[in-house]
Structure 1
């Protein structure tokens, strides 16, 4: 199993920000968590609102906790709202089930962490997460 190093986490963040600039997105915040749901690295762009760190963390946290990208969690919330509400309560309210949270997998398919991006539309946030994960040499799992 490949490890999610600090260097890889920084690459994910730098690339996500670069993708955001390329697309002309609003200021982003990017959180990278390890496989245990612990914060590995985080950055918030100038101009990103003060709540963005918690949102980015919540997108990544839900993804690694449930083993599915936050886009898939959003779909599950629409179908099984009671389940997602119960899990969010167990997670102390740290789940943000909208696109932008992506599981990071190594070449063998093992979950080594998750990234959460927020600041623009959920679809654009997810595109930045995917770019970062790919640039760091990992596989992205949106759960879709």
Structure 2
């Protein structure tokens, strides 16, 4: 199964519709296929300059390391030299903050990832998961 544009748009639309409280910062959302190619992305009005790049690094990093960025960030805390090296050798294609979530088909195979940046890592991740579920897919380490 491949990730469709309709699924990617559902992920984005749902993620951006998630309640985030008054005066919540603007988000950038990117959905990548399993090869880290962009399927769709959106940037809310007012999102700061680097939000798209950070969102893409979260999604790409999740794909490249085979885990959600929350898990990767936990591993990095215990082995910072290695993960600093990974960030360097990949040209910054890994952001060590929650908000990069693997997208799996119902059988469990990874078909892409979503990256969100703009709010707290916890909020970015929650918005990503809501979008994935709305698209009828599963996320992260759930198999």
TM-score, normalised via structure 1 length: 0.93
**Residue equivalent to 2:30:** 31
**Residue equivalent to 1:115:** 114
**Residue equivalent to 1:66:** 65
The Cα shift of 1:142 comes to 5.6
Structure 1 runs of 4+ with >2 Å offset: none
**Residue equivalent to 1:86:** 85
**Residue equivalent to 2:55:** 56
Give the secondary structure class of the aligned counterpart of 2:52: helix
1:46 maps onto 2:45 in alignment? yes
Q: Tell me the distance in 1 between the aligned counterparts of 2:60 and 2:136.
A: 21
**Residue equivalent to 2:11:** 12
TM-score, normalised via structure 2 length: 0.93
Q: Tell me the distance in 2 between the aligned counterparts of 1:5 and 1:130.
A: 17
1:3 maps onto 2:10 in alignment? no
Gaps of 5+ in 2: none
Q: Does structure 2 retain, via aligned residues, the 8 Å contact 1:71–1:97?
A: yes
The Cα shift of 1:38 comes to 1.2
* Cα deviation code 1:54-111 (max 9, x no counterpart): 0000110100111100001100110111221222122111210110000001111100
Q: Tell me the distance in 2 between the aligned counterparts of 1:64 and 1:42.
A: 17
Q: Does structure 2 retain, via aligned residues, the 8 Å contact 1:101–1:142?
A: no
The Cα shift of 1:23 comes to 2.4
Aligned residue pairs total 140
Gaps of 5+ in 1: none
Q: Tell me the distance in 1 between the aligned counterparts of 2:101 and 2:139.
A: 6
